[in-house]
Amino acid sequence: MNRLNGKTAVITGGGTGIGRAAAKRFIEEGAFVFIFGRRQEALDAAVADLGPNARAVTGSVSNLADLDRLYAAVKAERGTLDIVFANAGAGSPLPLGQITAEHIDDTFDTNVKGTIFTVQKALPLMGSGGSIILTGSSAGTTGAPGFTAYSASKAAVRNLARTWAEDLKGTGIRVNVLSPGATATELAKEALGEEGQKAYGAMTPLQRMADPAEIGAVAAFLASADSSFMTASEVAVDGGLAQL
C-alpha cells in the first residue's frame, strides 16, 4: 500500500516502541518521517533501521525550544507537514497517599503540555488534509491502580482531541486519539519480564499484549485518507481491555 505516498510526518517518542513501529509503517506506505525523542542513541539506531526516508531530531516535547528546532528542520527540508503523531509519553506508578507535586509535573509536562505544544507548533506547517494523532491509553478510560497522574493525563489527551476538532473546523485538519492497551515495547518487556507480560496479556480478551507493529498499523490508518471522515474520535487498540 502507498496510502501515505509523498506525505511528511512527525512522530514524537519515535526512537523506540510504538513510535518507531509507526515510523516504519509510515515509511513503508510512502511517507517521509521525522522522528523526535530524547535519546540520541535510540534515534540513531532507528534511523539506521528506517533508511533514507527518515530523519531524527533530538529533544524533549516539554522543551519549547526543542520543538522549534524540530519544526525548523521539517520546514527547511520538506516545506510543509501532513501528519503529526504526538506519541511521546511518560508515566510511572505512585499510589494515592504518596503522590508528589514533582511526580505530577513530570507526567503532565510530557503527556499534556508536551502534546499541546507538539500540535500547536506544527499547525503553521499544516493544511487541508492534515492528520493529527494523539496517543491516549486504555488507562484514560478505565483508570489504573497506582497511576493517578498518568491516567488523568491520558484522560486529558482524550479531551484535547474533542476540543481541537472544534478549534480546527474549516481547516480540513483532522485530530483523533489512538489508545493502546498493554504493548510489548522494549521498555515494557524489560520492566515486566516474561511473567509480567503474561499477566498483563491475561487481562485482555485476546489473552496477550499488543505488538508495537499492530499499534503502528492503526496509526497509519488514522494518518491516511482511509480515515477521512473521522475527527474527535478515539480508536482503542487494547485487545478489548477497556471495552468490557
Residues belonging to the active site: 150, 154
Residue 52 cell numbers, joined = 533514507
Which run of H or of E encompasses 34?
Answer: strand 32-37
**Three-state SS at 184:** coil
Given a contact cutoff of 8 angstroms between Cβ atoms, the answer to whether 164 and 132 are in contact is yes
**Three-state SS at 183:** strand
d(CA 185, CA 21): 10
Residues 6 or more apart whose CB falls under 8 angstroms from that of 201 comprise: 182, 207, 208, 209, 239
Q: Which of 86, 110, 121, 54 is nearest to 222 (CA)?
A: 86
d(CA 64, CA 2): 33
d(CA 98, CA 96): 6
Q: How distant is the alpha carbon of residue 130 from its chain centre?
A: 16
